[in-house]
Amino acid sequence: MAQWLSANPNWFTSRVPRHQSWPIACGAYHTGFDELRDLAAAAGDKVSLAIGMTGLLMTQALHDRPRESSRLASEFTGLLESIGDPTLMLGLSFAAITAKYFAGEMTEILRLAQRAIDLAEGDPTKGNLIVGSPLAFAIDGRAGARWALGLAGWRDDFDQAIAVAGAVDPMLQVILIADYYTLALLNGSLLPDATALRDTAEALAIAERFGDDPALFVALEARGIVLVHQDGPQREHGFDLLAQVREAGLQKRISIMVVPVVDIQIAKERLRTGDLDGAIELSRTVIDDLFSRGEMIYRGPPTSVLVEALLRRNADGDVQQAQAAIDRLAAVPTEPGFVLHELPLLRLRALLARAHGDEAAYRDYRDRYHDMATSLGFEGHMAWAEAMT
């Protein structure tokens, strides 16, 4: 869900209830938050401050500023705790979860999500001030954190979040399905199999029926990602769908963050078809963009494309550049167990060892990669490991 919110800023403002405090959160947060903070402090009105801070948090997250939004999320969480209103804490928890997610602070997300789940007490609509089902959002947040940290239960959590949302809000269900496949397919956790084809087709059909543009774009994105992994006309159709999503991002109809996500797929296709120069150029652009934003979820896939393309081209200096790309990803500070970087690094180090002619190191990294992928049940990585002979 955090992935989808980051791609669809208009959804946030369209769902805000129309009562006297909310216009502050939706309209004046960008230029008037400091004034709101002063007014709230003078009046002792922490609730209005929390509502206004929700708007600012989402603005930062939706405009791909994860470092800033994460810092503000810590202050925001402390403010909600000081207010002590369980319904408000539940209803606004999505903002802190979203902000922390793209900064890679998964342990904190586990805490925030579990607290929201406990506060919901099994009621899917409790605290639905903005999000249709805070409970579904929190379960989805816990799923994403468990997934990124390689903890058991992430699949069950995703399934439960989708089911809870479907009982009260079909559009939220679409969003969670699309979010699940976009994140997991791009990061090698799932395979683009018959189940993925079926689920993304159903999600897209629901989005088209309801006519909700933001949900439609995220459904198109997930469907496109599944289709570009197929053969023949389906692959071409998938890239057509992704082109629509990318153009919407460039036009600022949705978050610009969809552009690097689509570009990762384009770079992978260039690598697949042997356009090594094109794959190298585009993957470098994506990597630089993600690093400059401070985004933590999608750095592994374009780094994999870059290293593979460099090693296959093998021009003067390419092996050294591949080593530099690996070192750059490895130097990113992450929490213990953050497998979204650890898995691709094992694979890329194996490929680099083979390029150096070190078969013993290659087998060691390959076997460790295979064992980790298998223990996590990350199907894409398992398939890639099996292909390494």
DSSP string of 166-203, one letter each residue: HHH-HHHHHHHHHHHHHHHHHTTSS---HHHHHHHHHH
Local structure of 19: helix, strand or coil: coil
Question: pTM, whole model, 2 decimals?
Answer: 0.88
Q: Are 25 and 16 in contact (CB under 8 A)?
A: yes
- For the chain, first and last CA: distance in Å? 37
In order of start, what are the domains of the chain with their CATH numbers?
1-168 (1.25.40)
* The pLDDT of residue 8: 43
* The pLDDT of residue 143: 98
Among candidate residues 16, 38, 37, the one with its CA nearest the CA of residue 27: 16
* The pLDDT of residue 7: 43
Q: Summarize pLDDT for 300-313 with one digit per residue, the tens.
A: 999 999 999 999 99
Q: Mean pLDDT lowest for which of 250-254, 269-273, 333-337, 373-377?
A: 250-254
- Please state, for a pLDDT cut of 70, what percent of the chain lies above it: 91
Q: Is the pLDDT of residue 139 over 80?
A: yes
- Please state, for a pLDDT cut of 90, what percent of the chain lies above it: 72
Q: Summarize pLDDT for 24-73 with one digit per residue, the tens.
A: 233 333 446 778 888 888 888 889 888 888 888 877 766 667 778 888 89
Among candidate residues 340, 310, 347, 345, the one with its CA nearest the CA of residue 328: 345
Q: Is the pLDDT of residue 21 over 70?
A: no
* The pLDDT of residue 379: 97
Separation of alpha carbons 58 and 26, rounded Å: 10
Block residue for tokens 């750095």: 299
